[in-house]
Amino acid sequence: MRRLRITFLTPAALVTLALFAIPMGIVVAYSLLSRGAYGGVVLPWTLDNYSRVFDPLYGQIVWRSLWIAAVSTLLCLVLGFPIALYIARAQRRRALLLNLVMLPFWTSFLIRTYAWMFLLRDTGLVNSALESLHLIRNPLPLLFNDGAVILGLVYGYLPFMVLPLYATLEKLDPALIDAAQDLGATPWVTLWKIVVPLSRSGMLAGGLLVFIPCLGAYLTPDLLGGGKSVMVGNLVQNQFTTARDWPFGSAVSLLLMAAVLLLVLRILGRREQTLL
Interface residues toward another protein, by CB under 8 A: 173, 175-176, 178-186, 189, 193-194, 197-198
As measured in angstroms, the least distance from the Cβ of 273 to another protein is 14
Enumerate the β-bridge partners of residue 34.
42
Minimum CB separation of residue 239 from another protein in Å reads 46
Cα torsion through 207, 210, 211, 213, rounded to 10: 150
Radius of gyration from C-alpha coordinates of the chain? 23
Whose Cβ is closer to another protein: residue 43's or residue 275's?
275
DSSP character string of 215-242: HT--HHHHHHSTTT---HHHHHHHHHTT
Give dist(CA 232, CA 254) in Å, integer: 11
Report the nearest approach of another protein to the CB of residue 187 (Å).
9
Closer CB to another protein, 194 or 219, in the complex = 194
User: Between residues 34 and 181, which has the closer beta carbon with respect to another protein?
Assistant: 181
- According to DSSP, the residues that pair with 35 across neighbouring strands are 41
Helix, strand or coil, per DSSP, at residue 113: helix
Nearer residue to another protein within complex by CB, 46 or 181: 181
The CA-atom distances, in angstroms, between 172 and each of 85, 166, 179, 276 are 10, 10, 13, 20
In the complex, the smallest distance separating the C-beta of residue 173 from another protein, rounded to whole angstroms, is: 7
Query: How many angstroms separate the Cα of 103 from the Cα of each of 44, 97, 107, 157, 220?
Result: 50, 10, 8, 13, 19
Q: Which is nearer to another protein, 93 or 171 (CB)?
A: 171
**Least distance in angstroms from the C-beta of 1 to another protein:** 35
